[in-house]
Amino acid sequence: MADFLASALNANLTAWRSAPAPAELERVAIDWIKEAPGCDPDAGGLFMSGGSMANFTALAAARHRHCGDAVATHGAAAHPAPLRVYASTETHHSIHKAAALLGIGRANVREIPVDACLRMDVDALVRAIEEDRVAGAEPFCVVANAGTVVTGAVDPLAEIAAVARRYRLWMHVDACYGGFARLAPSARPLFDGMSEADSIALDPHKWLYLPADCGCLIYRDPEAARPAFSLDADYTRVMQTESAEAFAFWEYGPDLSRRFRALKVWMALADAGSRPVGDAVEGNLKLCPSPGRACRRQG
Ligand SMILES: Cc1ncc(COP(=O)(O)O)c(C=O)c1O
């Protein structure tokens, strides 16, 4: 119903000024969504077509923070050293695709082995970073999984966050599949450390039970991402001086024209709240076979 209304209304959420009420609704819906991964009040983000786009956007922000304007202006060849992204062998292929499209290169996504529970081996991550630094490459981003595409494994997020801090890497969490499982009390401890990430990709069109065409990217500090997407042109120049009215979604992601995806998120959560989602996920988890012996041993 919400998708039907959104199509009929045909609001275009480029910025507050193009669609003030829908833009406000998107910001409210994002504020509700960001409670699922336990983000700080200062976190912010936007809806997009799906998780692949959210992962792409996060890598673009991470690359820009590391390389600055030189690569955005002159292309990847302008950067003096190979860039490195780290992700487990279980990572969704949209990360490799993003690396290819952003000129980072698929070969520069270094795949880190996993343990018996298919979670990233953090010691192997540290070894890979050290090796690359010695070889003259530049580690700039680590992607952790909060629910891998094949088995739903959740990487040790708090440990990975500590490594990211130590080596000053952008930490992105691909929580497209599993992120909303944090609403289920039995799964919650798995997600400790997720809110420390610089960015989190979540798919409301997966475990928020919404229809397709609803991904989401949350930034811990939206202003850290903005330089990657902000460009000046006559038709994008912001005249408003009040900060809410000057807000433009195009400064936080690649899209200019954007659908009113927030309506279905807002309607679902305004109607039911997040508790029924947690209960439903809990019910889904009970359908899973119990984890193998190796995983039980590791908790
Ligand atoms: C872990 C993970 N990341 C990313 C994606 C891509 O999401 P989308 O299909 O919304 O682009 C998926 C899809 O299954 C996924 O499971």
Concatenated DSSP letters of 177-246: TTGGGGGSTTTGGGGTTGGGSSEEEE-TTTTT-PPSS-EEEEESSHHHHHHHH----GGG-----SHHHH
List, for residues 85-124, the tens digit of each pLDDT value: 999 999 999 999 999 999 999 999 999 999 999 999 999 9
Q: Cα of 232 to ligand 1 centre, how many Å?
A: 32
Residues 6+ positions from 97 with CB-CB distance below 8 Å: 52, 56, 106
E strands present in the chain: 44-48, 83-88, 109-112, 138-145, 170-175, 199-202, 215-219
What is the bridge-based pairing of β-strands 44-48 and 109-112?
Answer: unpaired
pLDDT digits (tens, 9 = 90+) for 202-236: 999 999 999 999 999 999 999 999 999 998 888 88
Q: Is the pLDDT of residue 299 over 70?
A: no
pLDDT given for residue 291 in this prediction:
60
Domain 2-297 in CATH 3.90.550.10? The answer is no
Distance between Cα 51 and ligand 1 center (Å): 5
CA-to-CA separations, 242 to 36, 41, 195, 203, in angstroms, rounded: 29, 20, 29, 31
Q: Is 33 in a helix, a strand, or coil? A: helix
How far apart (Å, rounded) are the C-alpha atoms in residues 75 and 34?
Answer: 33
C-alpha–C-alpha distance, residues 156 and 196, integer Å? 12
C-alpha 29 to ligand 1 mean position (Å): 21
What would the mean pLDDT of 117-142 be, rounded to a whole number? 98
pLDDT band at 27 (very low <50, low <70, confident <90, very high): very high
Give the per-residue pLDDT at 76.
87
Bridge partners, 47 (sequence order): 216
* Contact present, 280 and 18 (Cβ < 8 Å): no
Closest CA to 153 of 119, 122, 120: 119
Grade residue 173 by pLDDT with cuts at 50, 70 and 90: very high
Q: Which residue minimizes the CA distance to atom 16 of ligand 1?
A: 149
For residue 147, the ligand 1 atom closest to its alpha carbon is: 1
In the chain, the percentage of residues whose pLDDT exceeds 70 is: 97
Supply the residue whose CA is at minimum distance from atom 4 of ligand 1: 51
What pLDDT, on a 0 to 100 scale, did the predictor assign at position 161? 98
Q: Is the pLDDT confidence value at 296 over 80? A: no
Ligand 1 centroid to Cα of residue 54, in Å, is 9
| Residues composing the chain | 299
Ligand 1, CB within 6 Å, residue ranges: 50-52, 55, 92, 94, 147-149, 174, 176-177, 203, 215
Q: Are 229 and 252 in contact (CB under 8 A)?
A: yes
- % of the chain beyond a pLDDT of 90: 90
What's the pTM value of the predicted model, to 2 decimals?
A: 0.96
